[in-house]
Amino acid sequence: MSVLCRNREFQGPVFVGAMVAIVALVVGLLVDSHTLTLKSATTTATNLAEVIRTNMETTLARAEGDIHSFAQLLRAEDLSAQLTEARRTEVEATLATHLDRFPQVNNYRIFGADGQTVMGGKKVNASYSVADREWFQSLKADPSRRLAISDVLVGKGSQTSNIILGVPVRDAEGRFLGAVNAALEMSTFQRLIDAPDIGADGIIAVRRNDNTRLVLRRPETSAPINQPASSDLISRITSGELAGQIDTVSTVDGIERRYAFRRTEGYPFAVIVGLAHQDALAAWKTQVLILAAAFAVAIMVLSALFLAQRRTQRDLQASNIRLGESEERFRTLVEGTTDWVWETDENHCFQWFSETFEQVIGLSPSQLIGRRRWDAVSKDREIDSGLWKAHVDDLMAHRSFRDFRYWIQVGAGRSLWISISGSPRFDDAGRFLGYRGSGSEITAEAEAALRLRMLSMVVEQSPVSVVITNPEGGIEYVNEHFTTVTGYTGDEVRGWNSRIFASGETPVDTYRELWTTILAGRRWFGELKNKRKDGQFHWEAMAISPVVNDEGRIVHFVAIKEDVTDRRILEDQLRRSNAELEQFAYVASHDLRQPLRMISSYLGLIGKTLGSGMSDELKDFFGFAMDGAKRMDRLILDLLEYSRTGQQSEP
C-alpha cells in the first residue's frame, strides 16, 4: 500500500510536471508563433509601403524632369501673342512625344502668365484657365518656388482625378511668364495599391505629409478625398519621420492594425500600409483552439502538439508563398513602369539588375555587377564633365537624383543614351546601404532629334524654295531660298494664304486641277506665273505633295518650287525666232520661186521656138541661163529646208 501510495504520489508530481512542461511548451510555441506572425505582418507591410513609395517617387520624378525640360525649352515669345503656328507645332510635337512614352501622364500643358492655356501634348481648349488653381497661384506668387503639387483635382475638361505637378517659366530677370504642368492620373496609383493581398480588413492609404489630406485609400470609405486627419500615426509622419511602424486601433472601424509607413523623398506624400491583427493572426488563433482542445484530452496532447506544429509550418510556408507572389506581382508592376530597375551597394558598385535590363540594353548584368556607373560610360560620346561632377556629388552626399542622362558603352563602337533616377537606401540604424532606382533607354529620342536637325539644315540650305502650308493653304514655313526668290521673309508670310502670290494671269482651270489633285492625296506637277514682293512677275515650276497623319487625313502640303523665269524668257525668244523663220520661208516660197518658174518656162518656150536654128554660141548662152535658173531654184529649196530645221520645238 505504501509503495502504491508512493507510486501515486510519484505519478502525481510526474503528471503535474508533465502537464506543466506540456503547458509551458504549448505556451512557448504560441508566443513564438504569435511573435513570428506579427513580425511577418510587419515585414509585409514595410515591403509593400516601400515598393509603392518607390514606384510613386519614380513616376513623380520622371514627370517633374519632363516639365522642367519643357520649361527650359520655352522662349518668352512662346507665351505671348508672338507665338507662331510653326513654333506651336514644334513644341506640341515635343510634348506629344513625351506623352506617348509616359502613359501615367494624362496631359502636358503650357499656360501663360494669366493662366490661360497656350499649348498641350493633346488637343487643348484655348479657353481653359488655371488662374484659380492654388498650385498656379503659388508659383506665380513665390519667385523662389520651383515646383508646386496640387491636391487631388478633378479635371475641368476630362472629369478624371489627377494630381498636378507644375513648374514656373521665368525670364532671365525672374519675371513670371507662365507655367508648365503634368496631370498624373490617380487611376495609375489606384491600380498600384489595389494589386497586393492585404487581407479582408487591411488598408493602404496615401496622404500628404504637409497637410495630412487623403490622396488614395483602399478600401474606399465615406471620407472624401483631400480630407485631413489626425492620429498618433499621422503625427509621426508630419513630424518628419521618413519611415516607421506602429500598432494602433483605428478610430474609423475600431480594428487594431500593424501599420508601416514610408515618406517619399522630395515630394509631400506618405504611403501607409495597415494589416489587421485579426487577419494576420487568423491562422494563429486556429492553432490556439486546436491546441486547447487537444490539451483537454491528455492522451492526445503529444499528437495534437505535433499536428499543430506541422500546421504552423504549413501556414507559415503558405504565408511566405503568398508574400513571395505578392512581391513578384509588385516587382512586375514596378518593372512595367520603366525599362529596368537597379541597385548599388555602399561603394556605388552595381549589385543587382532586373531581368529587363539585358533585354533593353543588350548587356548581361554580370558585365556590370561589381562595377561603378562611371566605369561603363561611352568613350566615344562623352557628356559635360560638370554634369558628372554634380552627379557624383549627389551620390557622395547620399541625395536622390532624377533623370540623369549619359551614354553607356554596350559594345565595340556602339553606345546607348540612357536616363536614370535613384534614391539612397538606409538600414534601421541609418547606415547607408547603397542606391535603388530605375533606368530608361532613350537613344531613339536623341537620334530622332539629330535627324530632325539634319533635315532642317538640308531644307534651309536647299537651292529651291520650300513652302509648307496647312490643308487650307495657310503658310506655316518657308526656307531661306524662298526669301531670295520672292523678296518676302518667313515672318512676313507666315499665316498668309498662298494665293497672295497669284499673278492673276494663270487660268482658273489650272488652279482647279491643282487642288483636285492634291486633295485626292496625289502629287501635282506644273508651272505657275506668280508675283514677287516688288510686283514683278516670275515663273515657278513646282511639285506639291500632301502630307497625311496616321489616320490618313491630310494635315499639310509641301511645295518644292524652282524659279524658271529665265527659261520661259528663252522660250519666248525662240518662238519669236521661229515666227521670223516661218515668214522668211513664206517669202522664199512665194516671192522668189515664182519668178524663177516663169524664167524657166519662157526659156523653155524660146528653146522650142528656135529649135535647130540656134547657133552654137546661142546654144551655149541658152544652156548657161537654164543651168543658172536651176541652181537658183535649188538654192531657194535649200534655204527653205534650213528654215524648217531652224523652227525648233519648245524645250
Q: Which residue has the cell 541625395?
A: 399
The number of beta carbons lying within 10 Å of the beta carbon of residue 207 is 26
pLDDT digits (tens, 9 = 90+) for 398-455: 999 998 988 887 777 678 888 899 999 999 999 999 999 998 888 887 777 777 777 7
CA 149/CA 140 separation, integer angstroms? 14
Q: Is residue 636 part of a domain?
A: yes
Least confident of 66-80, 213-227, 483-497: 213-227
Residue 117 predicted with pLDDT over 80: yes
Average pLDDT across the chain, whole number: 83
Query: Can you tell me the mean pLDDT for 363-368?
Result: 86
Residue 301 placed within a domain: yes
pLDDT band at 8 (very low <50, low <70, confident <90, very high): very low
- Is pLDDT above 90 for 505? no
Q: What angle, 0 to 180 degrees and rounded to 10, lies between the N-to-C axes of helices 593-610 and 616-646?
A: 160
Collapsing DSSP to helix, strand or coil, 171 comes out as coil
pLDDT at residue 433, rounded to an integer: 94
pLDDT at res. 381:
61
- Do 286 and 268 contact (CB within 8 A), yes or no? no
Judge if 412 and 511 occupy the same domain: no
Q: Is the domain of 556 the same as that of 599?
A: no
Q: Look up the pTM and report it.
A: 0.44
**pLDDT value, residue 501:** 85
Residues 464, 562 contacting (CB under 8 angstroms): yes
- Nearest of 217, 201, 213 to residue 254 by alpha carbon: 201
Q: Are residues 217 and 321 in the same domain?
A: yes
In terms of Cα–Cα distance, which of 411, 440, 256, 418 is closest to 341?
Answer: 440
Q: Are residues 410 and 489 in the same domain?
A: no
Highest mean pLDDT: which range of 249-263, 294-308, 421-435, 622-636: 421-435
Q: Specify whether 316 is located in the same domain as 237.
A: yes
Give the separation between CA 501 and CA 288, rounded to whole angstroms. 94
The residue range of the domain holding 586 is: 575-646
Provide mean pLDDT across the span 179-194. Answer: 90
pLDDT of residue 650: 47
How much is the average pLDDT of 368-383?
A: 78
pLDDT at position 123 over 70: yes
What is the spatial distance between Cα 346 and Cα 352, in angstroms, rounded to a whole number?
13
Q: What is the pLDDT of residues 266-310, one digit of tens each?
A: 899 999 998 888 887 777 777 778 877 876 776 777 677 667 767
Cβ atoms 344, 371 nearer than 8 A? no
Confidence band (pLDDT; 50, 70, 90) for 135?
A: very high
- Shared domain check, 557 and 479: yes
Shared domain check, 246 and 163: no
Q: Are 164 and 153 within 8 A, CB to CB?
A: yes
Q: Which pLDDT band holds residue 5 (cuts at 50, 70, 90)?
A: very low
pLDDT at 76 over 50: yes
On the question of pLDDT at 598 being above 80, the answer is no
Q: Give the tens place of pLDDT for each residue, 163-175.
A: 999 999 999 899 9
Residue with more model confidence, 442 or 315 = 442
pLDDT value at 335 more than 60: no
pLDDT of residue 168: 97
Radius of gyration from C-alpha coordinates of the chain:
45
The answer to whether position 252 is within a domain reads: yes
Asked whether residue 67 is domain-assigned, the answer is: no
Grid cell listed for 76: 518668352
Q: How many domains does the chain have?
A: 5
- 297 with 400, same domain: the answer is no
Same domain, 29 and 53: yes
In terms of domains, do 395 and 503 share one? no
Identify the residue with better confidence: 379 or 81: 81
Position 212 pLDDT exceeds 90: no
pLDDT at 278: 85
Residue 367 resides in a domain: yes
CATH code assigned at 314: 3.30.450.20
Higher-pLDDT residue of 27 and 122 is 122
Are 476 and 520 members of one domain?
Answer: yes
Whether residue 476 lies inside any domain: the answer is yes
Segment among 204-208, 379-383, 562-566, 575-579 with least mean pLDDT:
379-383
In this prediction, residues 618-646 reach a mean pLDDT of: 74
Would you say residue 3 has pLDDT above 60? Answer: no
Contact 258, 280 (CB under 8 A): yes
Considering the chain, what percentage of its residues have pLDDT values greater than 70?
86
Model pLDDT, residue 180: 97
- Domain check: are 313 and 248 in the same one? yes
Residue ending a domain, among 138, 161, 188, is: 188
In a domain, 629, yes or no: yes
Q: Is the dihedral of CA 307, 308, 309, 310 positive or negative?
A: positive
CA torsion 235-138-134-120 (nearest 10°) is: -120
Residue with the larger pLDDT of the pair 307 and 348: 348
Per the model's pLDDT, the better-predicted residue between 263 and 598 turns out to be 263
